[in-house]
């Protein structure tokens, strides 16, 4: 690998590997007195945290590199893995650099986790973010504006400084740049997945969980510049969209396995919260209204969002078409209610369109990929064989 690309990917990998969140500690050392606020999947308006002069830190569990010692004691065995590893991260002191945590209302598991946090860490700021499921501007929009205003007011108290509209508009502009860079990255990967392999794209995108947004945007732009200079060849792979990875994240080994098995991932819902708003948000006028309106009108489609306007599966089919994908892999965390309850409706929609699909489940600490390799390889082969008939 060329040194410049190696440096970018190496740094992103190091941030991914670092379960002690050293980048957050470093940021706080460089910004004395400033606070860092963690947030769970799926979506929180990071602009408000940023405008408060704080660092938003995405927490998506402990992946396959964290041994669960105490976390299992807090949850029953038949739920997903992310809450136990998140508790483990906290109880082992790895999240001590965080001055608060935000828990958006994605599912009951996250709701329970937020309650547990309050019991375990009574001295730390915790907020359950009640995300609306009504997307009428006069109902859900009004509710959401009040909810995010309450968050803003909390952060004013926590930070001891006002959050002005001017600061909010500047933060919205910073995140607009970040959104634009991510959109460009996804477009580039869709056009040339062999140039921007998903395991690389993923760690570069995930660096945004711990880096300040402007630094992260610079990293994405540098990666977009450098990756095409590497000599990489296209392969006879199938083009695949993966669905179900919006909360608990698959281990990196799983993404590598899919590509080794003959699947170019050209669309996905990995770390979807960081790509939740699909357009730019206005940077003038009333920022809280603009943030609320963007959420109501331009949220992405996903299992944890009720969408009365579009039929289930419409967005997935659109993603298949936009990315010229040949098939869909339902790849969801075990016991993930939002992803798995959505799946039959999405399967029906794909069947109606004659789009091939397969499915398996994972846990963030899945360590054996042999079966997944065989299944994904067979799926990819079947797509190529049938498409040639
Ligand atoms: S993985 Fe699914 S069930 Fe578990 S916390 Fe996330 S959304 Fe909820």
What per-residue confidence (pLDDT) applies to 380? Answer: 97
The residue contributing the CA closest to ligand 1 atom 2 is 336
Contact 338, 303 (CB under 8 A): yes
DSSP 3-state of 207: helix
Assess whether the C-beta atom of 340 lies below 6 angstroms from ligand 1: no
CA distance 377 to 363: 20
Q: What percent of the chain has pLDDT over 90?
A: 92
Contact 53, 159 (CB under 8 A): yes
* Burial label, 286 (beta-carbon count in 10 A; 0-12, 13-18, 19+): middle
Q: What does the pLDDT look like over 174-220, one tens digit per residue?
A: 999 999 999 999 999 999 999 999 999 999 999 999 999 999 999 99
What per-residue confidence (pLDDT) applies to 385? Answer: 85
Residue 142 CB coordination number (10 Å)? 16
DSSP 3-state of 126: strand
**Neighbouring residues of 288: CB distance < 8 A, sequence distance ≥ 6:** 145, 148, 149, 152, 168
Contact 313, 346 (CB under 8 A): yes
CA distance 270 to 301: 13
Predicted TM-score (pTM) of the model is 0.96
Q: What percent of the chain has pLDDT over 70?
A: 99
Q: What ligand 1 atom has the least distance to the C-alpha of 80?
A: 4
Q: What ligand 1 atom has the least distance to the C-alpha of 41?
A: 6
**From the centroid of its chain, how far is CA 102?**
15
Over range 64-71, report the average pLDDT.
Answer: 89
What per-residue confidence (pLDDT) applies to 388? Answer: 57
Over range 94-118, report the average pLDDT.
Answer: 96
Ligand 1 centroid distance, CA of 248 (Å):
6
CA distance 3 to 146: 48
What per-residue confidence (pLDDT) applies to 274? Answer: 93
Over range 354-359, report the average pLDDT.
Answer: 97
Over range 290-299, report the average pLDDT.
Answer: 96
The kind and range of the H/E element at 356 are: strand 356-362
CA distance 209 to 274: 8
Phi and psi, residue 55, nearest 5°: -100, 115
Ligand 1 centroid distance, CA of 305 (Å):
13
Assess whether the C-beta atom of 247 lies below 6 angstroms from ligand 1: yes
CA distance 60 to 206: 10
Assess whether the C-beta atom of 59 lies below 6 angstroms from ligand 1: no
Ligand 1 centroid distance, CA of 41 (Å):
9
CA distance 207 to 186: 15
CA distance 236 to 132: 44
Strands 238-243 and 327-333, by their bridges, are parallel
Assess whether the C-beta atom of 244 lies below 6 angstroms from ligand 1: no
Residue 389 has pLDDT above 90, yes or no: no
Q: What are the tokens at 157? A: 């108290």
Q: Would you put residue 335 in left (φ > 0), alpha (ψ -120 to 50) or beta?
A: left
Ligand 1 centroid distance, CA of 247 (Å):
6
CA distance 161 to 49: 12
| Domains detected in the chain | 31-167 (3.40.50.11890)
What per-residue confidence (pLDDT) applies to 76? Answer: 86
Residue 229 has pLDDT above 60, yes or no: yes
DSSP 3-state of 128: strand
Assess whether the C-beta atom of 104 lies below 6 angstroms from ligand 1: no
Residue 242 has pLDDT above 70, yes or no: yes
Assess whether the C-beta atom of 376 lies below 6 angstroms from ligand 1: no
Phi and psi, residue 213, nearest 5°: -60, -35
Q: What does the pLDDT look like over 116-173, one tens digit per residue?
A: 999 999 999 999 999 999 999 999 999 999 999 999 999 999 999 999 999 999 999 9
Residue 324 has pLDDT above 60, yes or no: yes
Assess whether the C-beta atom of 361 lies below 6 angstroms from ligand 1: no
Strands 238-243 and 100-104, by their bridges, are unpaired
The confidence band for 307, taking pLDDT boundaries of 50, 70 and 90, is confident
The confidence band for 84, taking pLDDT boundaries of 50, 70 and 90, is very high
Q: Residue written as tokens 């669905």?
A: 243
**Neighbouring residues of 6: CB distance < 8 A, sequence distance ≥ 6:** none
Contact 103, 117 (CB under 8 A): yes
Ligand 1 centroid distance, CA of 160 (Å):
34
CA distance 384 to 389: 9
Q: What ligand 1 atom has the least distance to the C-alpha of 333?
A: 1
Using most ligand atoms within 8 A of CB, pick from 74, 76, 106 the residue to mutate for ligand 1. Answer: 106
């Amino acid at each position: 690998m060329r040194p410049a690309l190696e440096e970018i990917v190496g740094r992103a990998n190091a941030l991914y590997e670092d379960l002690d969140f050293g980048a957050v500690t470093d940021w706080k050392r460089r910004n004395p007195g400033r606070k860092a606020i963690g947030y769970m999947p799926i979506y929180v308006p990071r602009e408000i945290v940023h405008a408060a002069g704080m660092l938003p830190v995405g927490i998506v569990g402990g992946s396959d590199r964290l041994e669960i010692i105490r976390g299992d004691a807090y949850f029953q065995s038949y739920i997903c893995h992310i809450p136990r590893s998140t508790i483990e991260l906290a109880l082992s002191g790895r999240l001590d650099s965080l001055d608060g945590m935000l828990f958006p209302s994605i599912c009951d598991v996250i709701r329970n986790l937020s309650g547990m946090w309050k019991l375990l860490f009574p001295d730390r700021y915790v907020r359950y973010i009640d995300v609306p499921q009504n997307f009428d501007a006069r109902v859900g929009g009004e509710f959401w504006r009040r909810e995010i205003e309450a968050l803003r007011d909390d952060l004013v108290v926590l930070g001891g400084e006002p959050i002005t509209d001017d600061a909010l508009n500047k933060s919205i502009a910073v995140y607009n740049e970040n959104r634009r860079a991510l959109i460009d990255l996804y477009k580039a990967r869709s056009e040339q997945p062999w140039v921007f392999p998903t395991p690389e794209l993923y760690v570069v995108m995930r660096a945004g969980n711990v880096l300040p947004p402007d630094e992260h945007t610079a990293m994405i732009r540098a990666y977009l510049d450098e990756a095409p200079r590497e000599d990489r060849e296209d392969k006879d792979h199938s083009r695949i969209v993966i669905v179900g990875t919006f909360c608990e994240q698959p281990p990196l080994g799983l993404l590598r396995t899919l590509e080794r098995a003959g699947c170019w991932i050209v669309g996905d819902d990995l770390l979807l919260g960081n790509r939740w708003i699909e357009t730019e948000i206005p940077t003038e006028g009333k920022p809280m209204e603009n943030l609320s309106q963007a959420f109501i009108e331009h949220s992405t489609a996903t299992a944890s969002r009720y969408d009365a306007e579009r039929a289930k599966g419409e967005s997935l089919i659109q993603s298949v078409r936009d990315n010229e994908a040949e098939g869909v892999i339902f790849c969801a965390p075990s016991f993930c209610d939002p992803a798995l309850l959505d799946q039959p409706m999405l399967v029906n929609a794909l069947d109606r369109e004659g789009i091939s699909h397969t499915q398996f489940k994972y846990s963030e600490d899945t360590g054996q990929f042999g079966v997944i390799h065989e299944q994904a390889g067979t799926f990819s082969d079947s797509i190529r064989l049938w498409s040639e008939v």
